Amino acid sequence: MKHVIPFALILAFASPATAQDTGEDSNLREGWGLLSEGSRLILEGLAEEMRPFVDEHLLPMIAELGALIDDVAMYELPERLPNGDIIIRRRVTEPNSEFADPVDEPVDL
């Protein structure tokens, strides 16, 4: 099943390029058209099969992750440590910046 998707994508994108009128036999053009239509139907079927998974699992996970992260611009690129840990550091911001962390601001005593 893993090999069907790349093959279908190749067929879907290759068919318009070969459908140009270069004097090819009409049967060949008709065959490419049928392959293009078949690959489109396969991809639409796969998308419909994946829709319940995306709606039930993927979208809530993305929403939860978005709530935790707030704004991606507030963070540096991930860094992998030698022990395999991944650290995502918060960007250093100016104290008056909209992304400034109130904990990092100086406190007058």
What DSSP character marks residue 75? B
**Cα dihedral sign, 40-45-46-51:** positive
The predicted-structure confidence for 16-30, as pLDDT tens digits, reads as follows 554 455 556 888 888
The predicted-structure confidence for 28-60, as pLDDT tens digits, reads as follows 888 899 999 999 999 999 999 999 998 999 999
On the question of pLDDT at 87 being above 90, the answer is: yes
Contact between residue 72 and residue 89 where contact means Cβ atoms under 8 Å apart: no
Global confidence as pTM? 0.37
